[in-house]
Structure 1
Amino acid sequence: MTKVIGLTGGIASGKSTVAAQLHQAGLVVLDADQVARAVVQKDSPGLLALTRAFGRQILKPDGSLNRAKLGQLVFSDPAARKQVDAITHPLIRQVFEASLAALKRLGVPLVVLDVPLLLEAGYQRYCDQVVVVKVDPITQLHRLMARNHYGSQEARERIATQMPLAEKLAHADVVIDNNGSREKTARQVAKLIASWREGTDLHSVV
């Protein structure tokens, strides 16, 4: 029987680092960001629907999606963000459901759903366990500023658009503390993987 793990966390929390460590350990990781890019590839039905909604201003000269332009539109306009979500989320969900079904047929024992908006989009319904990666607010702010070259105000605004960490933690079965070094996080991940493989679920901060 396939055990499905939902992995989530706030922006710049280190979720991708944890996902990479899980992948390196041999686990199957379904990456929502990769799926989201795939469903709006050039000439795809998803990109066609976005172009109908927002016009050719969201396209690059070669006809592919200008992600920066679309990002600017949705960041400043909640209604536009909802419109993008209404177009892309069903397509992403369809891919996830098909992938999960195929992996279950193959008897894959553990599958990780790496989804930034796991809780917001309701993906926890597919999961046997939800893992939340946490980081303190100041560290999160500084990491986001460094990673995306944002000023302090823009970084704060980006963080504010997401579900508060406290709310995410309320849904967590397991919490990974990513305030320390990469090695410290890796030790927590290794402990978690061992619990899955041994069938002794952790239900607390790792």
Structure 2
Amino acid sequence: MRVGLTGGIASGKSTVSRILTELGAVVVDADQLAREVVAGGTPGLAAVVEAFGPDVLTPAGELDRPALGAIVFADPDKRRTLEAIVHPLVRARGAALEAAAGPDAIVVHDIPLLAETGQAGTFDAVIVVDAPEETQVARMVRDRGWTESDARARIGAQATREQRLAVATHVIENTGTLEDLRRRVAEVFEELVSGG
């Protein structure tokens, strides 16, 4: 079974992903793959440098993520340019990992921008990890040291909560304790295993 997993920034999606792995799912992490496909020496990094110039490289020749982030999060057209380079590479790598998982596996594709990229229809189920915007902002300020305006800008660059919920077949609300979250993830996993 192919499952899409998404959620807004600081919704707790990474924690849900880890719990699903513990429960036996094969998790394909799009963020991790996005780092791999633009690692030093890759064709993906060469394409990013061609599009954005050498200022997005560190002195060691690696991608300078903060420098690139400052460019793409301030300009939607530049963000789309970056996505047009990275997303096809990530999808191809994810497909290869899925093929290696075997026919009976629950394969969860952890895709932060699932709603934005219109991929929901390609999955048998879509799990959305949901948290109110104020909760997301508070977590980014507390856990990441961001300013409130930076946090709200990052949220504004993503799909709205309503857009994510519209593609969900399963919603995991993450506003309680870690144990509450574990319980709900286990419920959803059992539904997936039983074909629901």
Taking structure 2 as the reference length, the TM-score comes to 0.95
Counterpart selection for 2:185 from 179, 183, 189: 189
Counterpart selection for 2:154 from 158, 183, 190: 158
1: CA distance, partners of 2:120 / 2:167? 9
> What SS does the corresponding residue of 1:185 show, helix, strand or coil?
helix
Residue type of the partner of 2:135? T
> What SS does the corresponding residue of 1:8 show, helix, strand or coil?
strand
2: CA distance, partners of 1:56 / 1:146? 33
Superposed displacement of residue 118, structure 1 = 1.0
> What SS does the corresponding residue of 1:12 show, helix, strand or coil?
coil
Residue type of the partner of 1:162? Q
Match for residue 17 of structure 2? 19
> What SS does the corresponding residue of 1:146 show, helix, strand or coil?
helix
Counterpart selection for 1:38 from 36, 52, 70: 36
Q: How many residues align?
A: 196
> What SS does the corresponding residue of 1:121 show, helix, strand or coil?
coil
> What SS does the corresponding residue of 1:76 show, helix, strand or coil?
coil
Superposed displacement of residue 135, structure 1 = 0.6
Structure 2: runs of 5+ lacking an equivalent: none
Residue type of the partner of 2:139? R
1:10-67 Cα distance to aligned partner (Å, 9 max, x none): 1100011100100111210000001000000001000001111111111111101111
Counterpart selection for 2:105 from 93, 106, 109: 109
Give the alignment of 1:49-128 within 5 angstroms: 49-103=47-101, 106-128=102-124
Match for residue 6 of structure 1? 4
Match for residue 204 of structure 1? none
2: CA distance, partners of 1:101 / 1:125? 19
> What SS does the corresponding residue of 1:5 show, helix, strand or coil?
strand
> What SS does the corresponding residue of 2:6 show, helix, strand or coil?
strand
